[in-house]
Chains A and B, each alone.
Chain A
């Protein structure tokens, strides 16, 4: 082939490839645009004032995922009528949690080229009290029952060829003093009675106790996950149990519901919800037969709520925490719920 012909072939194929690339880009842009239009039959969403303060009837606050202008905004719905009209706050969050008038919103911040992420601590009126930049993609957030302590977890990864390494960073913040522990890896860890330090140690899914001193979380190292009990004053974590991810402590502190890897399940859906009594380490399987990849929240002393994949990203479900009953759908097109008294 002469050089001229080679260049002709190159230009011809280049035109085809550019056409395919442009078509895929337009298609994706068009689809992204559709998500900004309200779907018929979807939940009713209107703008309004959202307050995290207790008092105006029990509500659920969550990330509204219904398509339309309020997609991804923090919204509330009456706990007695979860399928009813939603009030959207205008504030966008990827992950959210709230307790006692303190909110934590993990949000994307549009940059010139790529999004960056930040954690915003909110007061009861959704006003920003402080913000912190995040080193990765938000995945979990929690506030202590008193509203004083806040924790979040992000994914950090993809820096090697073909992105094979994923790790997490979990931060703990004392909103009273402003003291931030950027990574729980700075705490002294004890595993099997020995001090443990390994480069592969990762933490995720903090849940706080009511005493504002203790917490539980998942620690992963050496291919295993552990339930750890942490002490915010002593800055220590101690492994108590194995195969526990994303623990969530009951309001009375007597039970932990978590996701457990169960042998024999497919590798992409390996989890089932279990309840653990930390006093006896007795495990009870909950009645949800599907794989749950979420950190549950307690609706009350007896029921937990969690997200499962749905048509518009995720739907929320509830199931009794004692292994009885059946899962029920709480609401569609929602994620990251918190119950406001």
Chain B
């Protein structure tokens, strides 16, 4: 059995002492480097996302009416890709190599958009782009966790997520400024997007150190503390990755993330409900995701720090409480100009309290050697549960209408939150840190 970090090993105890010695430990340079890579990459990808509908409709004269470019089948494939990325990264400690491949693949997709002139081809390019995203996510999160002291991981992930979200907000702005300079200049948008993505890959190559399992284990001596496995390095294999589910804290976290994911209604439904139930005017519809992103950006670091202080598990559950509150606000149908803002703030707060915090919590229970696989496993469980929730929610909406569907989601979320609370790893203050 693997033992979670911060316990037993003398080196880890020394780290803990160092971190707790009054001086607030700094965020590792690697985390800032990875945050910068994410920021730059998100500028690049959100540039494309923002102009894609315009490009399809006015640039290519296509009708994407009512039919998604990527269907449900792709969601399953994407989950698989994430697991593969996580596993490949752990084999030989190639986190950086897999991340570079993932970021590089997405970057190469941008110029391909210039030549893909039909919906199926554009769909294929977008699928490749998302494959790159799926491959890189777990290795990147593993690198963040391996570079950070266990006590500051919540904050480290908070900083990364805030930088990531800042990029996502800057991307559309960049794209529209380009279209201002050159009417119908979609080719310029895609070319600039490629240049920005290439810059991201370069920053990753130059400023993020590669890690091997050896250096991870020796990491604490090198100044960047890394967790130890009590029984030495386990073999990195698919079997070992799946065996992580036999580790109690990992299993509990995965189950909790899965349970709560089953009651997490997807963003597009939340925005539709805001419009249906709170009467948000049509012209604001496109701005709703910005509201969520703004709250996520502002709250990611404070909530990450809070998670380090009071416990990641508590903040993770608290985030879902915020989501539940958002559901309740939508259910009341109470008309007030402040309500949409409050709902979006809660929605963004939910992401700030759960996205990076879950990874910080998971990093505490997965040994360094299997970090990437473990994080991928938990992310995938959560993503699949959310996908299932989307399908079920859509069906419930069709069968019973939006109010009943949302009421059901709120009830399921409350039940799952109670279930997740009962699953909490332990009541001892030390483990509550998980």
Query: Measuring CB to CB, which residues of chain A are less than 8 angstroms from any residue of chain B?
Result: 1, 6, 9-10, 13-14, 17-18, 20-21, 24-25, 27-29, 31-32, 35, 94, 113-114, 116, 133-137, 139, 155-169, 182-183, 196-200, 202, 204, 220-223, 225, 245, 266-269, 293, 309, 313-314
* Interchain nearest-CB distance for B34 vs A (Å): 16
Contact indicator A156/B285 (Cβ below 8 Å): yes
Contact indicator A169/B57 (Cβ below 8 Å): no
Cα of A222 to Cα of B191 in the assembled complex, Å: 36
Verify if B283 is at the interface (C-beta below 8 Å from A): yes
Contact indicator B61/A267 (Cβ below 8 Å): no
List 27 contacting pairs A-B, 8 Å CB cutoff, sorted by A: A9-B202, A9-B206, A21-B195, A24-B187, A28-B182, A28-B187, A94-B58, A114-B179, A134-B282, A136-B285, A137-B58, A156-B285, A156-B286, A159-B286, A163-B49, A163-B52, A163-B126, A164-B70, A197-B401, A198-B394, A199-B269, A199-B398, A200-B66, A200-B394, A223-B67, A245-B65, A313-B61
Contact indicator B65/A202 (Cβ below 8 Å): yes
* Residues in A neighbouring B119, C-beta threshold 8 A: 267-268
Interface hits, B238-274 → A, CB 8 Å: 267-269, 271-272
Counting from the closest, the 9 A-B pairs by CB-CB distance are A28-B185, A268-B118, A28-B182, A135-B282, A24-B191, A198-B398, A28-B188, A220-B66, A29-B182
* Interchain nearest-CB distance for B269 vs A (Å): 6
Residue from A134, A157, A163 with most neighbouring chain B CB atoms (10 Å): A163
* Interchain nearest-CB distance for A38 vs B (Å): 17
Known: A199-B402, A202-B66. A17 touches B130 (CB 8 A): no
Q: Majority SS of interface residues in chain A?
A: mixed
Contact indicator B120/A165 (Cβ below 8 Å): no
Cα of A159 to Cα of B64 in the assembled complex, Å: 14
Cα of A245 to Cα of B183 in the assembled complex, Å: 30
Cα of A25 to Cα of B188 in the assembled complex, Å: 5
Complex: chain A residue closest to B289, CB-CB: A159
Complex: chain A residue closest to B71, CB-CB: A164
Identify the stretch in B20-28, B170-178, B315-323, B366-374 within 8 Å (CB) of chain A at 4 or more residues: B170-178
Residue from B286, B397, B402 in contact with A136 in the complex, judged by beta carbons closer than 8 Å: B286
Complex: chain A residue closest to B193, CB-CB: A21
Known: A10-B203, A14-B199. A204 touches B65 (CB 8 A): yes
Verify if B45 is at the interface (C-beta below 8 Å from A): yes
Interface hits, B105-140 → A, CB 8 Å: 118-121, 126, 129-130, 133
Cα of A161 to Cα of B50 in the assembled complex, Å: 9
Complex: chain B residue closest to A200, CB-CB: B394
Cα of A268 to Cα of B64 in the assembled complex, Å: 9
Cα of A116 to Cα of B54 in the assembled complex, Å: 12
Contact indicator A163/B398 (Cβ below 8 Å): no
* Interchain nearest-CB distance for B160 vs A (Å): 17
Contact indicator B69/A32 (Cβ below 8 Å): no
Interface hits, B26-51 → A, CB 8 Å: 45, 48-50
Cα of A183 to Cα of B283 in the assembled complex, Å: 12
* Residues in A neighbouring B187, C-beta threshold 8 A: 24, 27-28
Known: A24-B187, A133-B283. A162 touches B182 (CB 8 A): no
* Residues in A neighbouring B176, C-beta threshold 8 A: 113-114
Known: A20-B191, A134-B282. A161 touches B53 (CB 8 A): no
* Interchain nearest-CB distance for A28 vs B (Å): 3
Contact indicator B182/A25 (Cβ below 8 Å): yes
Contact indicator B65/A116 (Cβ below 8 Å): no
Cα of A76 to Cα of B63 in the assembled complex, Å: 27
